[in-house]
Amino acid sequence: MKLSEMVVEVNQEQELLQLCDKLCEDLHKAHIEQYPTLTDTGYTYKVSRKYIKIITTEKGQNRSVWGFINKKEWTKGLAGITFKCGDVLKAAGWATPALNAPRGNLFDGYMITGMRKYGPDYLR
């Protein structure tokens, strides 16, 4: 890998982490707007090799997974679904995302509206 490619990759990851910070702030703001007395709930994220896990916390303890953010572009086997950097993925469980389709992309602007404060959209 060339140095210029590494610089681009690092810059993209830094921008993605900033977008994850914004997502967590937006989720917290939406939560407080709906439940102004429940101030112990927050949102954080954990970076892993392939994904960034968005976690709902309560009194500082991890409670549930809101969803996942894809870190790098890749294509899923025979299905041919391409996942891009910044894709929002619904959680299939605590440690894995649902890989049937992306629910949006942070780089395209992912607004927290309606039921999104509880998790990424269902497929229609």
DSSP 67-100: EEEE-S-EEETTTTEEEPTTBEE-BSSSS-B--S
Residue 75 lies in a domain: yes
Task: Write the pLDDT tens digit of every residue in 52-77.
Answer: 999 999 999 999 999 999 999 999 98
pLDDT band at 9; cut points 50, 70, 90: confident
Split into its structural domains, the chain has a count of: 1
Once rounded to an integer, what is the mean pLDDT over residues 30-56? Answer: 96
- State which residues form the domain around 72: 3-118
Residue 93 lies in a domain: yes
Residue 56 lies in a domain: yes
Residue 107 lies in a domain: yes
Residue 124 lies in a domain: no
pLDDT band at 28; cut points 50, 70, 90: very high
pTM summary value:
0.92
Residue 32 lies in a domain: yes
Residue 1 has pLDDT above 80, yes or no: no
Task: Write the pLDDT tens digit of every residue in 94-119.
Answer: 999 999 999 999 999 999 998 999 99
Specify the amino acid at residue 59.
Answer: K
How much of the chain is in helix, strand and coil states, percent to nearest 5? 30, 30, 40
Task: Write the pLDDT tens digit of every residue in 74-99.
Answer: 999 887 899 999 999 999 999 999 99
Residue 26 lies in a domain: yes
